[in-house]
Amino acid sequence: MRHNKKFNHLGRNKAHRDAMLSNMAASLILHKRISTTLAKAKALRVYVEPIITRSKDDTTHSRRIVFSYLGNKEAVKELYGPVSEKVANRPGGYTRILRTGYRLGDNAEMCIIELVDFNENMLKDAKASTQKKATRRTRRSRGGAKKQEEATTPVAETQAEAPAEEQKAE
């Protein structure tokens, strides 16, 4: 029985798996976005998010621990530079997984894993949607259709009366 054994071994032994996740984490930090299989991306998210959280405090000890996980000096510099500045006020959830379809050869489910704060297109969309949400009513009630009709009829009548009064004044 596999009680409490939730770790995905990814078809590799421990040394190979650790090396692969280390290389993928360094590539993710350097390039901000990588394409991989869904299973690897989910394993990478569990691996890289504590590393990004550790980069919020820039001490020698935390740099050495992160270097022991990544094994890449350039990735550590990038992590403690622009990446840690952008995620400083974010409480978690530094990565996003976007499914892209299935691989042609073996039908493996492919995806893109990216750092959330570095996708300018989605940041623009998020700002626009938050501005729209502020102006839109979001509360729903049981008698929605009846209440909306009652709420719209006085407004429609006042708008219809206003042009008629302007025409009389002319």
Strands (E), the chain: 33-37, 95-102, 109-115
Q: What is the pTM of this model?
A: 0.72
Helices (H) and strands (E) in the chain, counts: 7, 3
Nearest to 109 by CA among 36, 33, 59, 46: 36
Q: What is the pLDDT of residue 122?
A: 77
Place of tokens 């001490």: 59
Query: Rounded CA gap, 55 and 130, in Å?
Result: 29
Edge-to-edge strands, sheet with 95-102: 33-37, 109-115, 95-102
Residues 6+ apart with CB under 8 A from 38: 97, 99, 108, 109, 110, 111
Q: What is the pLDDT of residue 121?
A: 82
pLDDT of 145 above 70 = no
Q: Taken in order 11, 13, 17, 19, is the CA torsion positive or negative?
A: negative
> How is 64-113 classified by DSSP, letter by letter?
HHHHHHH--HHHHHHIIIIIHHHTTT--S--EEEEEEEE-TTT-PEEEEE
Q: Which residues pair with 34 in a beta bridge?
A: 113
Please write the tens of the pLDDT for every residue from 104-141.
Answer: 999 999 999 999 988 888 777 877 777 766 666 667 77
pLDDT of 154 above 60 = no
pLDDT of 149 above 80 = no
Q: Which residues pair with 114 in a beta bridge?
A: 33, 96
Q: What is the pLDDT of residue 163?
A: 56
Please write the tens of the pLDDT for every residue from 29-86.
Answer: 999 999 999 999 999 999 999 999 999 999 999 999 999 999 999 999 999 999 999 9
